[in-house]
Structure 1
Amino acid sequence: MLGASPFFLSGSWMPVIFTTGYATENTLVAARSTDHAMILQKPYGSTHLAQKLREALNKKAE
Structure 2
Amino acid sequence: LGPVYGNGQFDLFVNLRSMELFRDRVELHVGGGLTALSDADSEWNETEIKSRTLLDLIE
User: What TM-score, normalized by structure 2, do the two folds share?
Assistant: 0.28
User: What TM-score, normalized by structure 1, do the two folds share?
Assistant: 0.27
Larger radius of gyration: 2
